[in-house]
Structure 1
Amino acid sequence: FPWSLLNFEVLTYLDLSRNNFIGQLPEVMTNLTQIFSSNNSSNSQLVNKIPSNLEFLILFGNLLNGTIPSWVYTIPSLRYLYLGHNQFTGHIGNFQHNSLVGLGLNNNNLSGPLPLSISKLVSLRFLVVYFNNLSGNVESKIFFKLKNLIDLEMSNNPLLSLSSFTFATNILPKIVSLQLSSSNITEIPHLLQIVKYIDHLDLSNNQIKGNIPKWFLEKHLSNFKGTRQLDPTITVIGLQLIFLLHPWHHWNECVCSGDVIFAGIVILDIIWVKFGHSLLSELGKRGDDSFLPISN
């Protein structure tokens, strides 16, 4: 790995993505002034100093392994850190500065909790940690100060508990992309009540059951993955249906009931549902639905 590039003190942008580099990131020996490669101590590369103005560290799509060294979390000017699609292990470290705008650690083997230090990243707009082995409870307080976050992707961390996060209502007011597939959640996240527009919402492969709240049906979702079908043994009485806004919704069991306002229906897919005439009557009043498959 060409760590000698870090000898350039004026370096602000380092992108070595998709190069199939193998090995570990170097370790900091003393106060960010001496860095040795931890791959082979007898052939280590000496780096004089981490560039103090480094803003972009982009290493995704390699074969880097081992733990992410602590110096990565201490670069004062770092704005974008993308280490996804590698083989990193260990815990996510504690961030020492609040300059980060984009953080991508997806598709690794990282474990342990989502650190509370993320809460200090007040400029963060993108947080992507899907397909890891993260665990523990994701505290909603992590996100209280992240008012600028627009993209949160935590899918496929089966040991991560999102119960506290799911019930929080006063977080992430600017979120437009929320991806929580395969996250063991049981309810539609309450934070969506205050969000005006969602561009990408993925709640697929969870254990969401029961009535879909009316406020959710009134949302304008351009790309929604979530519910697909009810269990065939369930009898749905009256105006109860499965509401979908994208053809690839699956592995949840949700219904809505009562008075429903269909706001911007793109796809309405009803499978294994017993419904009354009130549903067909209501749908018959609409002439602008894009797609309406009903099967049994």
Structure 2
Amino acid sequence: MPRFLMHINHIHTLDLSNNIMQGTIPQWIWETWDDSLTQLDLSNNMFTHMQLTSYLLPYSRLDSLDLSSNRLQGQAPMPNLLKAVDYSNNRFSSIMPNFTAYLSQTVYLKLSKNNISGHIPDSVCDASNLKVLDLSYNNFSGLILSCLIEGRSLVVLNLRENHFKGTLSDNVSDHCNLQTIDLHGNNIQGQLPRSLSNCAGLGILDIGNNRMVGTFPFWLGRLSDLRIIVLGSNLFYGSLTYPARDRKSREYFSKLQIIDIASNNFSGNLDPQWFERFASMMAKFNDTGNILSHQTDYRDYHDTVAITYKGQYVTFEEVLTTLTSIDFSNNALEGDIPESVGSLVSLHILNMSHNAFKGRIPAQIGEMRQLESLDLSWNKLSGEIPQELTNLTFLGTLDLSGNRLDGRIPQSRQFATFEINSYEGNAGLCGPPLSKPCGDSSNPNEAPLNTSGDHVDIVLFLFVGVGFGVGFTAEHFLSKVV
């Protein structure tokens, strides 16, 4: 910390962020400008300690304090009467037992990605000005206080990846202001409270990887601002057929851009209306999307989401409105894949693997020109791979393994780049990149060999002499995904 700052009077805003400062944040920085400093930003440095005489910071005028992305350890000090506090991405291991008692004026509190344990004190219910509460990626435990769900003040509630348990209150206020609810990766049980329908502005609901039960909450479709639903890795069950009372409404889920219901117990045929309702995924692709965020008077909060993207579980720290994904994998869905899926022309990720879908791969998928990842593996799909899928020129990941497909693998455009593991477990498929040539008489279901193909060269030698011999060679090409 540069010591010459000690000799400057009446600093109002001090921003030393995004440097490589290290060591201890000195005591004098908490004392020198007690009567003038309103904003202090030391984020994205390498500080490891804070020199303090008390774990209650003394500033009387400070509105905004950002110590995020350092290496600070020990107990996190609580600022008194601050409006915005960001301690995220540090190594704090504890916090004052009744830390929420000091949040009477706080609008924005972010303690994510530390090692803090303990319970959320009841005094958080008295923090009537609190709009953003982010305690994600810590070791907090205990019950989720009902006031956090029921209250009128919170806009963002993010308790992701902690050890909270119990059930969610079903007494959500008629004046609910919640726009983001992220409870992913806890031990929450019971059903999703239907009274969440009172949160008219709800845009993100992520309750994935808990122990929640019940049938699919179709009533969520009435929330006109809902963009992200993550219900994956729970105990939901039953049909995905729209209830009769909801079948005529065309506005359900009209803004939805990400839906993840993977690894549950949903079963039965997939209602074609699913894909006929997602109006935002049908719109002509626009690569100038906006970042999903919430504005406060002191700091903006950016929403995050984690999805399976090209075979990897990826966290997007900033979510654009153009990021679109459907994940229905690891359920017991059956029947045909609806042809209506082809209308989702701006969809980037489609994962329907590990179900019991049968019939042919819809050729209409070839109309989804923005598709980057397609996973239909481990179903009961049959027939040939539609040639129309070669129109997917942005496709970077393809997995059709573990089905009953047959015929020649398409070779043009992106299909020339996919490796063997995209097709394994389909005994009837032939042609590169598989070692099995097409036209093998051992499989009568295969298409006849096309001798004019671009990727197979046949040289036939006929020798006349003592006997006759026929030599047959074929060259196969293997390419790696770039």
State the alpha-carbon separation in 2 of the partners of residues 19 and 214 from structure 1.
46
Report the CA distance between 1:201 and its aligned residue. Answer: 1.2
Report the CA distance between 1:58 and its aligned residue. Answer: 0.8
Give secondary structure in 2 for the equivalent of 1:89: strand
Q: Are the equivalent residues in 2 in contact too, given 1:166–1:188 (CA < 8 A)?
A: no
State the alpha-carbon separation in 1 of the partners of residues 161 and 140 from structure 2.
9
Aligned length: 264
Give secondary structure in 2 for the equivalent of 1:119: helix
Report the CA distance between 1:217 and its aligned residue. Answer: 3.1
Counterpart of 2:176 in structure 1 is: 98
Give secondary structure in 2 for the equivalent of 1:185: strand
Deviation by residue 1:95-119 (Cα, 9 ceiling, x = unmatched): 2232011000110000000001111
Indicate which of 59, 65, 89 corresponds to 2:141: 65
State the alpha-carbon separation in 1 of the partners of residues 242 and 378 from structure 2.
18
- Map 1:116-195 to 2 at 5 A: 116-141=194-219, 143-158=220-235, 160-161=236-237, 163=239, 170=250, 171-186=252-267, 187-188=269-270, 190-195=273-278
Q: Are the equivalent residues in 2 in contact too, given 1:204–1:225 (CA < 8 A)?
A: yes
Give secondary structure in 1 for the equivalent of 2:222: coil
- The structure whose RCO (Cα within 8 Å, separation 6+) is larger is 1
RMSD of equivalent CA atoms: 3.5
Structure 1 range deviating more: 165-174 or 243-252: 243-252
Q: Are the equivalent residues in 1 in contact too, given 2:227–2:255 (CA < 8 A)?
A: yes
Deviation by residue 1:121-167 (Cα, 9 ceiling, x = unmatched): 110110000000001223322x1431111110000002x22525766
State the alpha-carbon separation in 2 of the partners of residues 98 and 212 from structure 1.
38
State yes or no: 1:76 paired with 2:171. no
TM-score when normalising by structure 2: 0.48
Question: Structure 2: which 5+ runs fail to align?
Answer: 1-94, 282-322, 366-370, 428-482
CA gap of 1:88–1:103, structure 2 versus 1, over 3 A, is same
Q: Percent identity?
A: 23
Report the CA distance between 1:9 and its aligned residue. Answer: 2.3
- Map 1:1-296 to 2 at 5 A: 1-2=95-96, 3-27=98-122, 35=123, 50-94=126-170, 95-96=172-173, 97-141=175-219, 143-158=220-235, 160-161=236-237, 163=239, 170=250, 171-186=252-267, 187-188=269-270, 190-196=273-279, 197=281, 199-220=324-345, 221-227=347-353, 240-241=360-361, 246=373, 249-254=376-381, 264=392, 266=395, 269-271=399-401, 272-275=403-406, 294=423, 296=427
Q: Are the equivalent residues in 2 in contact too, given 1:113–1:136 (CA < 8 A)?
A: yes
CA gap of 1:165–1:85, structure 2 versus 1, over 3 A, is farther
TM-score when normalising by structure 1: 0.74
Report the CA distance between 1:72 and its aligned residue. Answer: 1.5
Counterpart of 1:38 in structure 2 is: none
Q: Are the equivalent residues in 1 in contact too, given 2:333–2:355 (CA < 8 A)?
A: no
Report the CA distance between 1:250 and its aligned residue. Answer: 4.0
More strand, by proportion: 2
CA gap of 1:4–1:212, structure 2 versus 1, over 3 A, is closer
Question: Structure 1: which 5+ runs fail to align?
Answer: 28-34, 36-46
Q: Are the equivalent residues in 1 in contact too, given 2:353–2:378 (CA < 8 A)?
A: yes
Report the CA distance between 1:71 and its aligned residue. Answer: 2.0
